[in-house]
Amino acid sequence: MQPSDHPSPFNLGLIGYPLGHSLSPQLHHAALQAMQVSGTYRLFPIPPLPDGRIELADMLQRLRSKELDGLNVTIPHKPNVLGLLDELTPLARRAGSANTLFIRGGRLIGDTTDVPGLWDDIAGWLPAEQAAAKTALILGAGGSARAAVVALQEAGWRLWIAARRPAQAEELAGHLGGEINILSLDASALSQLNGIGLIVNTTPAGMYPKMEGCPWPDELSLPEGAAVYDLIYNPAETVLLRRARGAGLPARNGAGMLVGQAALSLERWTGLPVPREAMWAAFNK
Ligand code: NAP
C-alpha cells in the first residue's frame, strides 16, 4: 500500500552506461506492483566522464529537488557520484562505493546494497562445511570485488584475492584495510592455496556474450571442498560453475545478489518490506 507520507508515485531509476541490458526496471516494477505501490523505475544512460559530467550533476540535482525519489548507480558512475554526495552510510564509506542514493533530512545520502545483497545470498546458500572454513578466495579486483571483500571481512572471514594484475589487488587492499593476502591469478600461484571454503568470482570472464571464458586456469582443478559463487548471472551456468558442479562442489550464480541488492534499494526508498518472490518471478520471466 502507498505509504501515507508519500502519496504521489515513486520516481526511481538507474544511472550508468551502457544500460541496454539492465533487468532493473522489470524487477522494480514487479515488486512495486506486488506491493500495490505506484511508481516508475526508469533507465537514465549517462555517458562516461568527462562527457556525462553535466548530465550526472543534473540527475543528482533532480534528487535534491525531490523530482526523483531514489537512484541506483552502476558502471561507470559509482566512483563518480562519491564526491557529489553529502553523506555516505557507514557501510558505503567502508566499501568506498554507493549504489543507492536518496534524500534524508534534506541531505543527499549514498548507501551500498551490493554488500548486504551479496552477503545475504551467500549466507543463505553456503553449506555449513564451507562456511566453517571462513577462508575465501576472491577472483578479480575491480568494483564488485570491493563489495565481496567488505561483505566477507564484516563476517570475519580470512581473505585471498587473486588478480591478473596483482597491483590492482594491492591497491584495493590498501584502500579497504585489514589483512588481505594477494596472489596472481595463475595456476602456479593458485595451486599453493589450501583451506579455501569459498571462491567468489568477481571477474566478467564467462559472461554473455563471451561465454567460453573462465577465470580459473584450465590446467588446474578447483580446490577440493570449496564452494563456488559466481557474480555472473547471464548465462545462468558459466563455465566456472559447470566445472565446479562437475567436480561435485556447491555452486551458485549471482542472480540472488542482483535480486537482493534491488530489493534492499527499494526498501530504502519506500520504507516498506519488498517481496523478493515478485522480483524473482520477474527475473525468471
Ligand atoms: P570491473 O570493475 O571491471 O572489475 C573486473 C575485474 O575482473 C578486474 O579486476 C579485471 O581486471 C578482472 N578481469 C576482467 N576480465 C578478466 C579475465 N578474463 N580474467 C581474469 N580477470 C579478469 O567489473 P565489476 O563491476 O567488478 O563486474 C564484474 C562482474 O560482476 C561482471 O560480470 C558483472 O556483471 C558482475 N556483477 C554482478 C552483480 C550481481 O548483482 N550479480 C553485481 C555487480 C557485478 P583488469 O582490470 O585487468 O581487466
pLDDT digits (tens, 9 = 90+) for 129-144: 999 999 999 999 998 9
Q: Which of 200, 164, 202 is nearest to 183 (CA)?
A: 164
Distance from the alpha carbon of residue 205 to the mean position of ligand 1, in angstroms: 7
Q: Is the predicted pLDDT of residue 21 greater than 90, yes or no?
A: no
Mutating to test ligand 1, I would choose from 138, 144, 210 the residue with most ligand atoms within 8 A of its C-beta, which is 144
What grid cell was written down for 46? 549517462
Q: Which residue has the cell 547471464?
A: 234
Q: What is the pLDDT of residues 187-232, one digit of tens each?
A: 999 999 999 999 999 999 999 999 999 999 999 999 999 999 999 9
Ligand 1, residue 233: give the atom nearest the CA. 41
User: How many of the other CB atoms lie within 10 Å of CB of 245?
Assistant: 13
Query: What distances in angstroms separate CA 35 from CA 68, 256, 266, one per listed residue?
Result: 20, 20, 11
User: How many of the other CB atoms lie within 10 Å of CB of 75?
Assistant: 14
CA angle 70, 73, 74 (to 5 degrees): 155
Confidence of residue 1 (pLDDT cuts 50, 70, 90): confident
Q: What is the model's pTM?
A: 0.96
Ligand 1, residue 169: give the atom nearest the CA. 9
Give the Cα separation of 129 and 136 in Å (integer): 13
Mean pLDDT of the chain: 97
Distance from the alpha carbon of residue 138 to the mean position of ligand 1, in angstroms: 11
Q: Which of 66, 78, 134, 285 is catalytic?
A: 78
Residues 6 or more apart whose CB falls under 8 angstroms from that of 97 comprise 78, 79, 82, 112, 114, 143, 146, 147
Residue 150: CB within 6 Å of ligand 1? Answer: no
Instruction: Quickly list H helices, the chain.
Output: 24-35, 53-64, 78-81, 90-95, 114-125, 128-133, 143-154, 166-176, 187-190, 239-246, 255-270, 276-284
Rg (CA), the chain: 19
Give the Cα separation of 10 and 274 in Å (integer): 14
Is 284 exposed, middle or buried, given 0-12, 13-18 or 19+ CB atoms closer than 10 A?
A: exposed
Distance from the alpha carbon of residue 144 to the mean position of ligand 1, in angstroms: 7
Residue 263: CB within 6 Å of ligand 1? Answer: no
Whether 134 is a known active-site residue: answer no
Residue 142: CB within 6 Å of ligand 1? Answer: yes
Nearest CA to ligand 1 atom 37: 231
